[in-house]
Amino acid sequence: MQTDAPFWDSLVFAGIDDVYVEAVTAAFGSVEVMARGRGAGWACPDCGCFSDRVHDRYQRRLRDLPLAEQGFVIRLTVRRFICGSSSCRRRTFAEPFSRLAAPHARFTMRLNHVLERVGLALAGRAGARLAAQLGCVAVRGHGRHPAHPRPRRGSLSSNDGDVVPG
């Protein structure tokens, strides 16, 4: 297996300059890429102050599109930075990998896009069967994410203007 970092950078993270591949492992029908942020620091999303003071690190596990009929997982080490501005209300913030995955997401944007297309085209069990044949993991309730919150009871539905019963 090719474990050369530039190869994996171009294959997995094409067009995403913020990610650096540290290691690649393959075992038991899945490929796992260990990656981290490439930048020395980030700007605070609230005040815009640049910070390179690391507060903590944590790992995100992101499923991606299958590769050669093998499951593909990205283990992304995310740094939390300390905002240096004393007037900023936000004390710490995490590296944003918005081109790779949405905040708190467990799937990459690419996998999410494929699952949304399959769900819109086929829906229900037929969509789940096709996703399984493609090697994509389809989980119940995947379509709901923070960008599309569940409507509140007694309010107008965002889909067709009907009132959601309360």
pLDDT at 15: 65
Answer whether 83's CB lies under 8 Å from 46's CB.
Answer: yes
Cα angle value 136/11/74 (rounded, 5°): 55
pLDDT at 140: 56
Cα distance between residue 18 and residue 61, in whole Å:
17
pLDDT at 68: 79
**pLDDT averaged over consecutive 10-residue blocks of the chain (166 residues)?**
58 72 84 88 92 94 85 91 90 90 88 81 77 67 50 52 48
Nearest to 36 by CA among 53, 14, 20: 20
pLDDT at 30: 84
Q: Sketch the domain layout of the chain as residue ranges.
A: 5-106
pLDDT at 94: 93
pLDDT at 141: 54
